Each structure stands twice: as C-alpha cells, then as structure tokens.
Amino acid sequence: GSRRTAGIKKQKKNSTSIFWLLLVSRSRWLWSVKMAADEPQAKKQKLEEKTVSENVLFGMGNPLLDICSVVDKDFLDKYGLKSNDQILAEDKHKAMFEELVKKFKVEYHAGGSTQNSVKIAQWMIQQPHKVATFFGCIGTDNFGAILKKKAEEAHVDAHYYEQSEEPTGTCAACITGDNRSLVANLAAANCYKKENHLDLEENWKLVEKAKIYYIAGFFITVSPESMLKVAKHASENNKIFGLNLSAPFICQFFKEPLMKVMPYVDILFGNETEAATFAREQGFETEDIKEIAKKAQSLPKVNKKRQRIVVFTQGKDGTVVTSGDEVMMFPVLEIEQSEIVDTNGAGDAFVGGFLSQLVQDRPLEQCIRAGHYAANVIIRRAGCTFPEKPDFH
C-alpha cells in the first residue's frame, strides 16, 4: 500500500498543482464574462410527473471540505497568500487550516467537483432525499466528520472510504472584500482504493442500484481502475455514464486512461478550453467547436444502443450539444457583470442541473436549460452554495 501510494505521489507530483489550479479556475474561463441571450420559458412542470427513486444517480470523485471565512490581510501575509488566487497547499500552509478555524468564523460546505454536481442535482430535485450516492476518500479526523455531516445536510448519500494515513482533503477560501484566495490540500482525496471500497459487496450494490453515473475527469488521476469498472457496468447494462474532461491537463497528461474509458462514455461534458485541448491531443485537425463535438461524438463506443451526446459549455457564446446527427447551440441566461459574485463551481453546477433532469427522463433541451439555470444561480453567490429552494420551471 505505502509503496504504491509513494509511486502514485511521485508520478503525480508535476501535475498536481496544475490539477488543483484548473479544478478551481475552470469555471472562470467560462463564466467571468457577461452572459447574454434569451431563454425560452417552458410551461411549469408538475413535480409529480416523475417519481425519482433513491440512489438513482451515482457519483465518484475527490471529496473536499470547503472552509470559507472572511480573514484579514495579516493572515494572508502570514501564509504568503495573494488576495485573489488559487494554489495547492505546501508544507508552510498545513497549520493554516486549523488556525483559520480557531481564529475566524468559518462556514463549511461539502465540496470537490463531482460532489458539488451531485449536491446541486439533489437541490434541484428536492424530494426524495438521497437521490445521489457519492463515493470518495476522506480521513478519520474532525474535518472528515464535518464533511460527512455536510454531505448529509445536503441530502447526498455519501459512502466515503475512510483511511487514517492522510487527512481529509480541504479547500480554504480566505475572503478579503470581493476577493477569494483558495488553498487546497487534496490529501486523502488522492487515496481512494478500488479493492478497499468499490469492490466491497455492500458498496457495489449501491453502484448497481443507480441508472445514471457521473464522474469528473479529475478522478482519473486517482483511481482510473475504479472509473473503468463503473463505466463498464453502465455500458453492459445499457445505463448512462457521464464523464467530464475537467481540465486541459487531463486531456494532455492522462490521455491513455482517458481514452480507455471513452468507449463507455454516453455523455461527455467539457468547456471550450478543454474541448480545444482534447481536439489537439486527438489529432482532430479542427478548432471549430461544433466539429470537435461531432468528432468526439463519433469516437468508438461499446454500447451501440445509445449514441454519445457531447456537451461543451463556452461562456456567453452558449452551449454546444450534439443530438443525433445535428449539433445544436443553446443560449445561456442573461446576467449583468455586476451580479456575478463568484464563478467557482459554475461548471459543476451546470452538470448538476443537467443531471437533475436526466434522472427524471426529461428531454435533452430541458437538461441543458436546468444546467444553465443552476450555473446562473451559483455565480450570484459566494462558493458553490444555493438558496433553500430552486425556482426552475
């Protein structure tokens, strides 16, 4: 175990900092400009149209406890932090997380890309609770206990693999005025083990219970074998498996495991930057996002009963979606620049909104509209947080 962990750490040393940087900043590329478009209003849907069962949605990824607090300049200076930045925690930052909790009033949220998405899906659906199952690795520590409580409060059915070698992954959001300095310590999130968790009978039963699966590409750096096992299960049982490209470096430096899982992908998500990198790495020889979407759609696929759907968000320019043989463009919701508070988590929110309708067998257009709605709500608030109830019709 420890030899393998050391090997993984060494292998990941160079990519980890890029990994985090892009994890938290990917949405900024997407949403930091003024979005403009008209959104058609559909007739109000009756909630009782579709009954959603528990554990119908399955997510697996890197769980992080988000710790948000308003701090002073002295605190930033002490740990060498810029007021508006995102970095990976170094040794000098290790004590910072505990000091933050002791010295300032903090808010905790269950975070990490995939966990954010399933949390948003649950919020959009409201009832029943525990629509989504979530797997990931945490530590046997106080932050782990808080993360479990926060996931429970969000009504996500989280079943974490708990180990004592590494502490629970955390992301500190140090707020000064309108700025946020993000410091992430992935820690335990990097330690997920297929044989110690996913392969256990009681856990695998939860995988089998689901009909829709979603995993952010970031998890491919942690446990590609877990991702592949879930993807194959979905394919063999004609269920839906969704994957997010997550960051350009995933398309570049994790190309081999990414392309191993691609034949099982029913819905591929990404933003315009990731799409462009993916196209270059795959030798698509085009920079046209609609062409890239078509070529990604036509990559080899194991389950021929479902044609792959490709969804590329691209900020104010609307979302590109392949459906059958056509490529469609869906405009995003209008928002004033002054109303944008925090663009982190908007990409995760889009997927969460999309999944909330997908689990209810709603049409593709409605999935996209729900994604746009959720992202529009999230960027008006600090952190990946949301009001008590959605107002999506």
The token pair at 312 is: 């590329």
For residue 190, CA distances in Å to 21, 161, 303, 382, 387 come to 16, 11, 30, 26, 31
Selected catalytic residue, list 77, 266, 348, 361? 348
Look up 348 and say whether it is catalytic.
Answer: yes
Give the residues across from 160 on adjacent strands: 136
**Rg, C-alpha atoms of the chain:** 20
The residues, ordered by sequence, that sit 6+ positions from 261 with a Cβ below 8 Å of its Cβ are 220, 224, 227, 228, 231, 243
> Is residue 65 a contact partner of residue 170, using CB atoms and an 8 Å limit?
yes
Residues with catalytic roles? 348
